[in-house]
Structure 1
Amino acid sequence: MSSSAGWGTFLQPYVYRSLGVVCFLLVCFMYYTPDIKFPSFNFHNEIFRPPCPKVQCANRTLTQDSNQNCTSVLHINPHLNDTQKTQAAAVDTEPDTILLIWMWPFGRKYDLSCKIFNITRCQLTDDKSLYHKVHGVLFHHRDFQPNLSGMVKEPRPWFQKWVWFNMESPANSRQIHEINNLFNLTCNYRLDSNIPVPYGYLVPRPSEVESFKLPAKDKLVCWIVSNWKPQSKRVHFYNELKKHININTYGNGFGRRVSEEDYSKIVTSCKFYLSFENSVCKDYVTEKLYRPMMLGSVPVVLGTSRPNYEDHVPGESFIHVDDYSTPKELAERLLYLDQNNTEYMRYFNWRNKFEVQRTQFVREHACRTCNYLKNHREYQAFHDLNKWYWG
């Protein structure tokens, strides 16, 4: 026997074993795909995607907007896994979700239909006799002060969620120790709420809507205020600012009551409006910003930080007092913009793509809450509400 034949006979078992191992690995690879995510180098779709405020992105999930050209730090995953698909299918076979409004905020009733928000299979009611059947109960913070007066006295059904609802800032809301470990969810203007519903948000401008035209202006700076507190930050800033620029003032704080119709006419006629909040709190960005934006005036904001404002609206849509070292420096900037129309008009560039939509108080909060309950049947609890909201 030749030496080569002998080696072949000797190696033959090892060759067969090696082939067997390779075949086994190939079969495993066909039926098992490791969960490995490789970095995306799709520069056109990822890096140059146009940015938008967080709240505008978040609103797209509320309205089921299909436009994906919007990024946000909020975790939004449009692709459901098998478990989520099964849960969604189960929800589809269940009856309508029912939300009970325990007490009408400030005693004023609102429409109970959610059709305007494209929310279906949700029922709103104020009938307390249905308490043991409803999936959730909405409680307005201001209406059970102090010491939880007016709250439910009966045990909570195991399937039911209680939702804490409040749109006032912590500075204007009484802290109640007993609310800790009482509620399952929060519905609030803060973006980190379980059900975030801010005072307003941006939506894509429909193509058929006429392009923006700046209203006629005959005033430079305006301010309408009713809640006048001499020691507040906004009043101190106003007292310094008025030394360097003329400010047209209105409202009960100045003894000049303004009707709803008058408000629109005044703000429309002003180049700049002092959107000064009564509280400096996280995400507390109210209609004082959104209404001037809608009416064609540039808001000069005083409130939370600039980065936090930019979580809600484009950074070039407003002027922040913190951008200037003194009220005098701010006044000089406003006077400069008054004489330079090209630069002034840049504050309206956002209107080429977006328009402002104000939140419908109570009705929208209730509908968004009901919709959340419809899609989240799992147990949830909010343990330290006082720490979260009042710090």
Structure 2
Amino acid sequence: MTSKASSRHFCPLVIAGGLLICFTMIFFVYNNPTMNWLPCAGKPQFNVCTETCLSAQIITNCSENKQEMTRSVKIAGGGNDHASEITILIWYWPPRRQFNLDSCEPVYGIKGCHFIVDRAQIDKAHAIVFYIQEIKGDLQNLLNISRPPRQKWVWTNMESPTNTPQLKGAEVLFNLTSNYRTDADIWIPYGRIVEISETDEPFQIPLKDKLVCWIVSHWNIKLKRVQYFNELSKHIKVDAYGRHFEQRIDNEDYNKVVSSCKFYLSFENSIHKDYITEKVFNPMRLGTVPVVLGPPRENYEEFIPRDSFIHVDDFQSPRELAEHLKALDQNQEMYERFFSWRKDYVSTHNEVSRLHACKVCEHIQNHRGFKIVKNITKWYWG
């Protein structure tokens, strides 16, 4: 007989022995004999029997518990190995934002991520990342796709509700959301304020030769930011750049221009909760004070130090704001207070397309349960 067969026969014998001991103890308890020879002598007789019976019950349930434990491990780990590789299919590349498919570990320390772009391998993917802006007229095709039941479809988007197309008929198409909003399943902010490291150089305010600057690509007279700028520029000089002003700025010039300004108009194209973009984090990174137009001040203060920026809502009018900026220009001590936070923190700007993909991988590694977004239209557009 093999050792495996012996183990199979051994368990029933142990169970039978345990039950025999239990019944024997019951007999002795009710007949009240001398019990000093028992291993638990000195304890109440009832406890002796209880503990013995409990041991027998544990032995009886050993095989069931082992099976349940094995099942739980498989559910939590998704299969064989808790460090198993996660395959993510990128359905569409966002325009001009392709990234190195092997960069999650070296950049973010997220291991076990394998990205593919070949839709013919859809059945191999644990999750699919959809950059929503690129779906456009392809929704009907997505609704007809046969997908594995455990595959997660991720609604991925960094545009505000104002500038995001609603997908009619896609109310139960997605399992997860990846977005700048803090109540998304996977939170991807445009930037963050993080603690300084030992390798960071001491901060110094850059030399300034401009008071107020603005770089804008999307110009629409109906936008609040355009209306505010038009009124503000009547009371203070604003060095404005971008297509509308026939002064295009490339990436290299951007850093030079922004760092040379005391204040930068960090005006969002629309106003929504948590919609705080690189228009804020980049000037802070480059040593310039952002003048923000967007969600309320309280929302900004959840993400950046309260004394690091100026909010247009703090003033009765653009003219009043202009007078305040002129006063700060004449008071270097007051101006430098806006950078007190730089003693302890730095501003970072995220490469959001890559961060989306890597964070989706990390989320799938740690969350294998069922999840569906029942009404994404109500959640995002209210």
Quick check: TM above 0.5? Answer: yes
1:213 Cα offset (Å)? 0.5
From 179, 188, 200, the equivalent of 1:209 is 200
1:131 Cα offset (Å)? 0.9
Structure 2 residue identity aligned to 1:299: P
From 85, 88, 95, the equivalent of 1:99 is 88
CA contact (8 A) 1:144 1:151 kept: no
Q: Aligned equivalents of 2:338 and 2:268: distance in 1?
A: 20
Note closer, same or farther for the CA distance 1:149–1:357 as it changes in structure 2 (3 Å cut).
farther
Structure 2 residue identity aligned to 1:97: I
From 289, 301, 308, the equivalent of 2:280 is 289
Which residue is 2:12 aligned to? Answer: none
Note closer, same or farther for the CA distance 1:225–1:149 as it changes in structure 2 (3 Å cut).
farther
Question: SS at 2:124's partner residue?
Answer: coil
2:318 is aligned with 1:335: no
Segments of 4+ moved more than 6 angstroms: 88-91
Show CA shifts across 1:46-87 (max 9, x none).
Answer: xxxxxxxxxxxxxxxxxxxxxxxxxxxxxxxxxxxxx99x94
From 99, 102, 112, the equivalent of 1:110 is 99
Q: Aligned equivalents of 2:202 and 2:83: distance in 1?
A: 44
Q: Aligned equivalents of 1:285 and 1:150: distance in 2?
A: 33
1:94 Cα offset (Å)? 5.2
2:194 is aligned with 1:194: no
1:109 Cα offset (Å)? 2.8
From 166, 174, 184, the equivalent of 1:175 is 166
Q: CA RMSD in A?
A: 2.4
2:132 is aligned with 1:132: no
Note closer, same or farther for the CA distance 1:88–1:332 as it changes in structure 2 (3 Å cut).
farther
Q: Aligned equivalents of 2:81 and 2:297: distance in 1?
A: 42
Question: SS at 1:239's partner residue?
Answer: helix
Structure 2 residue identity aligned to 1:174: P
Q: Aligned equivalents of 1:286 and 1:151: distance in 2?
A: 30
Which residue is 1:356 aligned to? Answer: 347
What does residue range 14-53 of structure 1 map to in structure 2 within 5 Å? none
Question: SS at 1:388's partner residue?
Answer: helix
Q: Aligned equivalents of 1:360 and 1:157: distance in 2?
A: 30
Structure 1 residue identity aligned to 2:273: K
Which residue is 1:270 aligned to? Answer: 261
TM-score by length of 2: 0.77
CA contact (8 A) 1:251 1:258 kept: yes
How many residues are treated as equivalent by the alignment? 313
Question: SS at 1:100's partner residue?
Answer: strand
Unmatched 5+ stretches in structure 1 = 1-19, 25-82
What does residue range 298-313 of structure 1 map to in structure 2 within 5 Å? 298-313=289-304
Structure 1 residue identity aligned to 2:263: F
Which residue is 1:143 aligned to? Answer: 134
Q: Aligned equivalents of 1:123 and 1:354: distance in 2?
A: 33
CA contact (8 A) 1:147 1:178 kept: no
Which residue is 1:383 aligned to? Answer: 374
CA contact (8 A) 1:299 1:318 kept: yes
Structure 2 residue identity aligned to 1:269: S
Q: Percent identity?
A: 46
Question: SS at 1:105's partner residue?
Answer: coil
Show CA shifts across 1:170-196 (max 9, x none).
Answer: 111111221211100000111110001
1:256 Cα offset (Å)? 1.3
Which residue is 1:78 aligned to? Answer: none
Show CA shifts across 1:210-238 (max 9, x none).
Answer: 21001000000011111110121011111
1:88 Cα offset (Å)? 6.5
Q: Aligned equivalents of 1:152 and 1:261: distance in 2?
A: 43
Which residue is 1:243 aligned to? Answer: 234
Decide which structure has the larger Cα Rg and report it: 2
CA contact (8 A) 1:212 1:351 kept: yes
Structure 2 residue identity aligned to 1:253: H
